[in-house]
Amino acid sequence: MLLFTLAQSYPLMGIELQGLSHSALIESGVAGLIDHDLSPLAFLVFLVSFAAPLFRVAASTYVLASIGTGRRPRHLAIIFRLSERLRPWAMLDVLLLGAARRTDLKSKPRPAACGEL
């Protein structure tokens, strides 16, 4: 849960070119799409980048905590199954890896900049 919070709150990518710099958060993509009147796409990006990963983290935590304490409610299997169905859409591993390795693009000669990507 801590890594998920960090991934959502810190800039995922920063660009520095000719002394100007700009950082982008994950939610800035959603805000940009809304600003360009693409609300349905913004909603989909929000689901994939925030809601689905949050549900996967919460569901996994709940399932593991329930098993660890020895209680197994009837709905535990349903929550786990739903969490596994969201796996391709949540891309939690990509999100957390992006948070761990923040990308900084700086003005460099073209081959060096392409190698960094």
pLDDT tens-digit profile of 29-64? 888 899 999 999 999 888 888 888 889 889 989 999
Per residue, the 3-state secondary structure of the chain, as one string, reads: CHHHHHHHHCCCEEEEECCEEEEECHHHHHHHHHHCCCHHHHHHHHHHHHHHHHHHHHHHHHHHHHHHHCCCCCCHHHHHHHHHHCHHHHCHHHHHHHHHCCEEEECCCHHHHHHHC
9-28 confidence digits (pLDDT tens) = 767 667 777 777 777 777 88
Report if pTM > 0.85: no
